[in-house]
Amino acid sequence: MIILTIDTDWAPDHATKVVLDKVRELGVKTTVFFSTPSPVEYWPELEAGCHPDLSRRQAIPGDNEESPLAVATHGHDLAVEKAEETILKHYKSAINESMAVRTHRFYWHSDLSRLMTRCGFTHDSSMILPYHPGLTGFKVGKLYRWPVWASDHLHLARRLPFDRLDMPNWAAPGLKIFCFHVAYLYLNANNLADFNMIKEGLPDEAPPTASGRPGTWNLFKMLANEILKTSKGHFLSELPAELNL
């Protein structure tokens, strides 16, 4: 089963709008994890999720930036939990309909399942197990967790093709959740050198180099067409606890 997800990652509104307008035209169900409010109105095939950055909390009492070996204390742990819960509640309030969450950089620790549930989330995808066969979801307390199978950045790093569906264990059974990013889709990135454009700021219009050659958007579209052969796909929060794949 293929599941399409997109992280907006604080991309400028014009880039997010261009990408999501193209996704809407495909008519395939997609879960979009928003880091900032959406610049487009939702449509039936879009599931809105939250994409907070918990790895860069504001300074909290007990954080020691000088020593990477600082010893955590009970008070420190409580302050971390409070800061993270505040961020999660803010996102849930801003995107109230969201049931799914994915942390930036797949940040995770053992208390987050409890915090996410407390803040009203039911599904999490803050984990990546690249190209593993036989993946499925699992439950931690009341939270369903769904591991990502592949990402556009990893696809670029491994120099995998963009003109055909050819990835490690592609034919093996199992859940295949793909994590795409607005910036790569907007540029139709074909290699990691395109990341320099992202760091410098996305242009108002996709650069000429993004056209006429297969890239990240072509991969997304191929996956969407593969899904549409049998259905409109699935949102992340629609997945059952155990999949028979």
**Which of 148-181 are b and which e, b meaning 16 or more Cβ less than 10 Å from the residue's Cβ?**
bbbbbbbbbeeebebeeeebebeeeebbbbbbbb
Q: Which of 70-79, 81-90, 182-191 has the lowest mean pLDDT?
A: 70-79
Helix axes 216-228, 13-26, angle to 10 degrees: 30
In this predicted structure, the answer to whether residue 108 has a pLDDT above a threshold of 90 is: yes
Q: 75-78 contacts: CB < 8 A, separation 24 or more?
A: none
**pLDDT bucket at 206, cuts 50 / 70 / 90:** low
**pLDDT bucket at 21, cuts 50 / 70 / 90:** very high
pLDDT at 76 (0 to 100): 58
In this predicted structure, the answer to whether residue 51 has a pLDDT above a threshold of 50 is: yes
- Joined together, the tokens standing for residue 178 give 């793909």
pLDDT at 69 (0 to 100): 39
pLDDT at 191 (0 to 100): 87
DSSP collapsed to 3 states, the chain: CEEEEEECCCCCHHHHHHHHHHHHHHCCCEEEEECCCCCCCCCCCEEEEECCCCCCCCCCCCCCCCCCCCCCCHHHHHHHHHHHHHHHHHHHHHCCCCCEECCHHHCCCCCHHHHHHHCCCCEECCCECCCCCCCCCEEECCEEECCECEEHHHHHHCCCCCCCCCCCCCCCCCCEEEEEEHHHHHHCCCCHHHHHHHHHCCCCCCCHHHCCCCCHHHHHHHHHHHHHCCCCCCCHHHCCCCCCC
pLDDT at 60 (0 to 100): 45
Predicted confidence (pLDDT) per residue in 143-168, tens digit: 999 999 999 999 999 999 999 999 99
pTM: 0.90
Which residues face 47 on adjacent strands? 31
pLDDT at 68 (0 to 100): 43
